[in-house]
Amino acid sequence: MANVTIYSTPTCPWCIKAKGFLKSNNIPYQNFDVSTNHDAAKEMIIKSGQKGVPVLDIDGKIILGFDEKSIRNSLGI
């Protein structure tokens, strides 16, 4: 099983879609709310080079935004 981390905010519609996609495919993930967790926000910026959400880290592969094709490829689904 892949190690999945998502950096998101509660009001971001693409973040909600990304988390919903992971849930619907029974993919466990760790979520960091970067609107309240400043350490996670800094980590996200270092990993992705930008401040937009969502940012997914799938086994070290960084995916910007809700890119379903890239997410599926990274997860092998």
Task: Evaluate whether 74 touches 27 at the Cβ level (below 8 Å).
Answer: no
CA angle 34, 21, 17 (to 5 degrees): 50
Measured torsion, CA atoms of residues 70, 15, 5, 47, in degrees rounded to the nearest 10: 80
What predicted TM-score, i.e. pTM, was given to this entire model?
0.93
Mean pLDDT over residues 36-48, rounded?
A: 97
Task: Identify which of 33, 31, 40 has the alpha carbon closest to the alpha carbon of residue 10.
Answer: 33
pLDDT band at 1; cut points 50, 70, 90: confident
The span from the CA of 38 to the CA of 22, in Å, is: 24
